[in-house]
Chains A and B, each alone.
Chain A
Amino acid sequence: MRPFTYERAESPQAAAAAAAKTPNARFIAGGTNLLDLMKIDIEQPAHLIDVNGLDLARIEGTDDGGVRIGALVRNTDLAADARIRRDYPLLSRALLAGASGQLRNKATTAGNLLQRTRCPYFYDTNQACNKRLPGSGCAALGGFSRSHAVVGGSKACIAVHPSDMAVAMRALDATVETVKPDGSVRRIPIADFHTLPGNTPHIENVLTKGELITAVTLPKPIGGHQLYHKVRDRASYAFALVSVALVVQANGSGRVALGGVAHKPWRVEAADAELPKGAKAVAARLLAGAQTTDDNAFKLTLVERTLAATLAEAKERTA
């Protein structure tokens, strides 16, 4: 790991200002992704701004009947919160399907949203990777690409976003709240928060220099049956090959988002309307224009089958 200077932030705005004016600075929250990557020289910050002392660890109601989740709320606390379990069980389920008990105790809401891909070539500094080193190429294209994206990828990068939590937040229409170095705040719909790789896979979201996430808000509860199905190589403590976040109402309408298939949590609003028609129709809409490799083409079938299984379970619960 490279040497770095270290400070504890006093306020969200001060943290943002420090991050903007200090060369090569990074916020550190749980540290479970940043330190992992610093140890193997993929992240090389020269200065760390510890945000753990900030008052951003609360879960509270909003005026419109929704909920505001502080950026520093730990994944464990969010999943265990009584209101989240009752009103947004999809979010609890997605969080509990991710990482391990130890990691969830440290991992924060903001850090989870910003965690970087688990593409093995991104992690291997001997390999070409446009995300790690723009312009170097993409070793996954033509390499071992079983875990990679089937939709929304580009010739420059076919990595997937690894977060489970973000997939549930996408289905629940979350909004990311931030503060900028000048103290101004903004609200970013989660649909617009993460970006597709295009020619700039090293850019993964719309945050600007120094911008600090302060909270994630969810609109008022939408009810229905909420299920998160994650398919992975072992039953626990593994990243998703494919995951399905589903909310189905009594009349058969609902919403669906996918994890493990794209550079961002994947939702196509037009696919929601197909839910009453069943998994095949929904998958066709979600995966329209899919581009697969020999290694990851199985994900198309896996998405459809996982959707079918999740829909069947929702139906069982209604019965």
Chain B
Amino acid sequence: MAPSNDWKFTRRDVLKMGAMSVTALAAPRLVAGGSESGLGATSKPVTAKVGMEVNGAQQALELDTRTTLLDALREHMHLTGTKKGCDHGQCGACTVIVDGRRINSCLTLAVMHEGAKVTTIEGLGRPGSLHPMQAAFVKHDGYQCGYCTPGQICSAVAVLDEIKADIPSHVTGDLTAKASFSRTEVRERMSGNICRCGAYSNIHDAIEEVAGGAA
């Protein structure tokens, strides 16, 4: 038998076994998947309730457990400022601030954020009352196509907070000294946000201006 056929057969076989091993069981603190679908059932979508505060407004949602925070924001709360780039934590376009910390909203489930406070690009500032970082990006032309920009701005705001909170980085020279702002520090700390247009130097200028103003 050719190796490729052999492999196909094995894979189908394993999938079949996976489906057969499913049994319903009860467990405490079950958040989603009641008696109807049963624990361990893989066939039917399962929904769960979750409440969180997004940009200052309470949101009560009932979502498929598979919904990422990113998809909940975009598809259910219609906050489309946060962008889906790679959907695998590699590009940073989906960066939002949750409970004061920047995270990739694509690699976390909405149901894991009961009671969380989420800030998206829409919550940082609005036209007419821009956040200083948003204004600085406009002033320094910190983008070309703009797709990565919401993630860049959320990340940049959090980076300045992280330096203030004395969180070190890979390029911090002395770990026992307090973290401080520098061009190299910002470059390293912003490496989780990729800009396909290559607007990095302008993004950098924008962040530096805000940091200077804040100091």
Binding site for B on A (CB under 8 A): 1-10, 14, 18, 21-25, 28, 30-32, 35-36, 39, 44, 46-48, 50, 52, 76, 79-80, 85-86, 89, 92-93, 96-97, 99-103, 105-106, 128, 133, 135-137, 236-237
B191 touches A102 (CB 8 A): no
Proximity bits, B1-44, A CB within 8 Å = 1, else 0: 00100110011001000100111010111111100011111111
Which listed residue (A25, A32, A80, A96) contacts B89, Cβ 8 A? A32
Which listed residue (B18, B68, B92) contacts A44, Cβ 8 A? B18
B39 touches A35 (CB 8 A): no
B170 touches A23 (CB 8 A): no
A10 touches B103 (CB 8 A): no
B176 on interface, CB distance cutoff 8 Å: yes
B40 touches A32 (CB 8 A): no
A106 touches B39 (CB 8 A): no
- Bound Cα distance A89, B46 (Å): 44
A24 touches B21 (CB 8 A): yes
Which one of B117-125, B128-136, B138-146, B155-163 contacts A?
A: B155-163
Tell me whether A97 and B170 are in contact in the complex, defined as CB-CB below 8 angstroms, given that A24-B18, A36-B88 are known contacts.
yes
By secondary structure, the B interface counts as loop
Q: Which of A5, A8, A14, A23 counts the most B-chain CB atoms under 10 A from its CB?
A: A5
Tell me whether A46 and B92 are in contact in the complex, defined as CB-CB below 8 angstroms, given that A4-B65, A7-B27, A102-B102 are known contacts.
no
- Bound Cα distance A101, B165 (Å): 13
- Bound Cα distance A50, B7 (Å): 34
A-B contact pairs, 10 of them (CB 8 A): A5-B38, A23-B22, A23-B40, A31-B108, A79-B167, A80-B167, A93-B170, A103-B107, A236-B191, A237-B191
Having A5-B40, A237-B191, one finds 15 other A-B pairs with CB under 8 Å, namely A5-B46, A8-B31, A21-B27, A24-B40, A28-B109, A30-B108, A31-B108, A32-B89, A36-B89, A39-B88, A80-B165, A96-B172, A100-B193, A101-B169, A136-B11
Expressed in whole angstroms, the minimum distance between the Cβ of B150 and any Cβ of chain A is: 13
B206 on interface, CB distance cutoff 8 Å: no
Expressed in whole angstroms, the minimum distance between the Cβ of B192 and any Cβ of chain A is: 3
B21 touches A133 (CB 8 A): no
B82 on interface, CB distance cutoff 8 Å: no
- Bound Cα distance A103, B95 (Å): 10
- Bound Cα distance A135, B10 (Å): 8
In the complex, the chain B residue whose C-beta lies closest to that of A44 is B18
- Bound Cα distance A137, B4 (Å): 10
A4 touches B46 (CB 8 A): yes
- Bound Cα distance A86, B174 (Å): 10
A103 touches B89 (CB 8 A): yes
Tell me whether A23 and B21 are in contact in the complex, defined as CB-CB below 8 angstroms, given that A97-B170, A136-B11 are known contacts.
yes
Which listed residue (B23, B37, B112, B166) contacts A5, Cβ 8 A? B37
Measured between beta carbons, the chain B residues less than 8 angstroms from A7 are: 27-32
Measured between beta carbons, the chain B residues less than 8 angstroms from A76 are: 101, 162, 167
- Bound Cα distance A52, B98 (Å): 14
Measured between beta carbons, the chain A residues less than 8 angstroms from B189 are: 101
Which listed residue (B7, B166, B188) contacts A236, Cβ 8 A? B188
B108 touches A96 (CB 8 A): no
- Bound Cα distance A169, B143 (Å): 40
Q: Which of B64, B65, B68 counts the most A-chain CB atoms under 10 A from its CB?
A: B65
Measured between beta carbons, the chain B residues less than 8 angstroms from A52 are: 112
B112 touches A50 (CB 8 A): yes
- Bound Cα distance A24, B14 (Å): 13
